[in-house]
Every structure is written in structure tokens, then in C-alpha cells.
């Protein structure tokens, strides 16, 4: 029988949720502009998918080719270091169940699912402000989101490798969530995953704009990767996802062009937000974090105009904005922020 206490997870706020927004603001104009996620609004062009990807169970060779493509794209030592999964969210939920009960330190504030899933699995979970505090806590597992969500903080590779070495001496793990690393891979630890204490998570859907595909990867030493593959089980990643991602990960020219486009669009968004009275606090080229003393009222006023942004119940002065998909969406945001400011909602910056 299920332990119902453990099975109940407190709902965490996330980006997205347009249905709920439409219900809460039924008079908002259509179409809605969803800026509440950090998903690339310009997805990888969808190629033809072979019929057998839909009609047959995924073949071992096809999955191996995906692992090889991911290893080459991310810079992992080899395909044996790669584990494909149906989204990094699934990995975040599985990992705590593969580790004996332990102390877990999570650098925060950050993506809330990390703490929620480790806590649900029975681990003693704490949120800490920096890596020094995490290592000083005596925790056997340390979780770092790098770049961090939502402020974009980046920890240097050498700093994280020293932390992995410390945790390795304790028999522990350093889990580095690189969900937003594709926008600037220079700080990635993918090349270092031979280290037995290091696990790196990579998201496919965010940078490639295909979140509905539900695909992510764990990069790890071969022994850890084998354990994870067994835990995930066979056929966890569907054939169409394998076929599409194998092509996309090999398309380096698309990735290079997209990084330039995202950086330019982030600069345009920064200008729009600043002119709208919002103070930039961080982010990545896929999202921007701003502060405002009346952030909740700004978010609600934007929603009334059909623009959804990410707010934070525990940090009510902050808002996160994803990239508008086109000039019309950016102009609509600019006009909305100007109208909100003219009403006196939060003149001045926090």
C-alpha cells in the first residue's frame, strides 16, 4: 500500500500554465503571450520522422546513436557516459531514490523541484546560499543548478571540480543541473564526467525549443551511467524523440546561429524591461530576472493584457521574463509596461 503522506507533493509554481491564466483573466486579449518559461521560442526545424520511429519499439542501435550524438554535442568523453531519459524532470525525481538516505545541500534559491524531490524521498534536505556552505554542512549530496534558475549565476568549472573531489572523498555526489548551459557551454562539466562523484544533467527541450518532446540526459562515469540506465528501464525515450534529437544534436551550425540570435534578443528584451521601469537582476539568454517593488501588481496587470510572466511567491519583488517570439510580441510587451507605469504601478525600481 502506498504511503499517502509521502505520495502527496506540494504543488510548486512553474512557468507555463496558460489554461489557468486564461481562466483567471477571462477578459484578457488573445492571443496570449507566454513569457513565463525559459524555453527557446524558435524551435529546431522539425524534420521528417521515419515511420518506423512511430511504429516500432526503439532499437538499441538508434538509442546508441543518440547517446553518441549527445556525447559529441555536449563534449562528454563517450557514449558510455550518456543516459537518455524522458526529460530531466524525470531524472530529478529518480535520482533521490537511488541514493541511501543522506544529507542533501542545494544551492538556492533555485529550481524548486530539486529540493521537493530529495525531501519526498526521505533525505535531510537543506537550502544553502553558496558552495562553501554546502560543503561545510557535511552533506553527502550537493545539488547545483549552473547556470542557476532564475538568476543565471554561474560557478566556474574548477570550483565545481574541487567540490566534486571533496564529495568523492566522502563517498558522495555532486549533481550539476546544466539545463540552460547550451546557450554558453564554456562552463560545462560534460568533459569531466569520468569523475565518479559527478553527475551532470542536460535538458534538450529548452535550447532546442521542443519541451513537449520530453527528453533529457544524464552525463556520468560509466559505472553510474549503467546504474541509471537500469533504473530508467527500457524504451523510456520514444522513437520519434530519438530520431529528431539525433539530428538536432549533430547540427552545430544551427546551434551556433541560435546562440547569436538568443543573445541579441536578450539584449532587446533588457532594453524593453529597463524602459518599463524594471531592474535587471540576472538571467541567461533564454530568460531575464528583474525586480520591482510592486512586482506582483505588475505581473497581474500584464496578465490582464494577455501577457504571462513568471512570479515567485517566496520572492515577491522578482519576476522572470522569457524571450518574446517576434517583434510584435516585444512591442506589445513594451506598450503594456508603458501603460502600467503610467498608471503609477510601481514607479521606480527595486
**Residue 317 above 80 pLDDT?**
yes
Q: What angle do CA 251, 253, 254 make, to 5 degrees?
A: 70
**Residue 12 above 50 pLDDT?**
no
pLDDT (tens digit, 9 = 90+) per residue, 184-219? 999 999 999 999 999 999 999 999 999 999 999 999
**Residue 321 above 80 pLDDT?**
yes
Q: What is the pLDDT at residue 298? A: 98
Q: Across residues 38-52, what is the average pLDDT?
A: 97
pLDDT (tens digit, 9 = 90+) per residue, 328-347? 999 999 999 999 998 876 44
Q: Across residues 170-175, what is the average pLDDT?
A: 96
166: confidence class by pLDDT, cuts 50, 70, 90: very high
pLDDT (tens digit, 9 = 90+) per residue, 229-286? 999 999 999 999 999 999 999 999 999 999 999 999 999 999 999 999 999 999 999 9
Decide if 13-43+254-342 and 51-250 have a common fold: no
Q: What is the pLDDT at residue 119? A: 98
Residue 320's beta-bridge partner residues? 289, 310
> What's this model's pTM, rounded to 2 decimal places?
0.94
**Residue 157 above 80 pLDDT?**
yes
pLDDT (tens digit, 9 = 90+) per residue, 47-64? 999 999 999 999 999 999
Distance from the Cα of residue 309 to its chain's centroid = 16
Q: Across residues 296-325, what is the average pLDDT?
A: 97
Q: Cis omega (within 30 of 0) on the bond before 109?
A: yes
pLDDT (tens digit, 9 = 90+) per residue, 79-123? 999 999 999 999 999 999 999 999 999 999 999 999 999 999 999
* CATH fold of 13-43+254-342: 3.90.1150
| Residue 316, number of CB atoms within 10 A of its CB | 15
Domain positions in the chain are 13-43+254-342, 51-250
13: confidence class by pLDDT, cuts 50, 70, 90: low
Mean residue pLDDT across the chain: 94
Q: Across residues 136-147, what is the average pLDDT?
A: 97
Name the CATH code of domain 51-250 (choices 3.30.470.20, 3.40.50.970, 3.40.640.10, 3.40.50.620): 3.40.640.10
Amino acid at each position: 500500500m502506498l504511503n499517502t503522506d509521502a505520495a502527496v507533493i506540494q504543488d510548486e509554481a512553474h512557468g507555463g500554465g496558460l489554461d489557468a491564466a486564461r481562466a483567471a483573466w477571462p477578459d484578457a486579449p488573445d492571443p496570449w503571450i507566454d513569457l513565463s518559461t525559459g524555453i527557446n521560442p524558435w524551435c529546431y526545424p522539425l524534420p521528417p520522422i521515419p515511420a518506423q520511429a512511430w511504429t516500432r519499439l526503439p532499437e538499441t542501435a538508434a538509442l546508441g546513436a543518440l547517446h553518441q550524438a549527445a556525447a559529441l554535442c555536449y563534449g562528454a568523453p563517450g557514449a558510455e557516459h550518456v543516459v537518455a531519459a524522458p526529460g530531466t524532470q524525470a531524472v530529478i525525481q529518480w535520482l533521490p531514490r537511488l541514493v541511501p538516505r543522506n544529507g542533501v545541500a542545494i544551492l538556492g534559491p533555485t529550481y524548486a523541484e530539486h529540493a521537493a524531490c530529495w525531501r519526498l524521498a526521505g533525505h535531510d534536505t537543506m537550502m544553502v546560499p553558496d558552495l562553501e556552505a554546502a560543503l561545510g554542512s557535511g552533506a553527502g549530496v550537493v545539488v547545483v543548478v549552473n547556470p542557476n534558475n532564475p538568476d543565471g549565476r554561474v560557478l566556474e568549472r574548477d570550483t565545481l571540480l574541487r567540490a566534486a573531489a571533496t564529495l568523492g572523498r566522502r563517498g558522495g555526489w555532486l549533481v550539476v543541473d546544466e539545463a540552460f548551459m547550451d546557450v554558453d557551454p564554456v562552463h560545462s562539466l560534460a568533459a569531466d564526467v569520468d569523475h565518479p562523484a559527478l553527475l551532470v544533467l542536460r535538458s534538450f527541450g529548452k535550447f532546442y525549443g521542443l519541451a513537449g518532446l520530453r527528453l533529457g540526459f544524464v552525463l556520468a562515469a560509466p559505472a553510474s551511467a549503467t546504474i541509471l540506465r537500469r533504473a530508467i528501464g527500457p524504451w523510456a525515450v520514444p522513437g520519434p524523440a530519438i530520431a529528431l534529437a539525433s539530428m538536432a544534436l549533430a547540427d552545430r551550425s544551427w546551434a551556433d546561429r541560435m546562440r547569436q540570435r538568443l543573445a541579441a534578443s536578450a539584449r532587446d528584451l533588457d532594453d524593453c524591461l529597463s524602459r518599463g521601469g524594471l531592474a535587471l537582476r540576472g538571467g541567461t539568454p533564454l530568460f531575464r530576472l528583474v525586480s520591482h517593488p510592486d512586482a506582483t501588481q505588475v505581473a497581474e496587470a500584464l496578465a490582464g493584457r494577455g501577457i504571462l510572466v513568471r512570479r515567485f511567491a517566496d520572492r515577491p519583488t522578482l519576476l522572470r521574463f522569457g524571450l518574446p517570439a517576434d517583434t510584435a510580441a516585444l512591442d506589445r510587451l513594451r506598450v503594456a509596461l508603458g501603460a502600467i507605469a503610467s498608471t503609477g504601478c510601481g514607479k521606480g525600481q527595486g
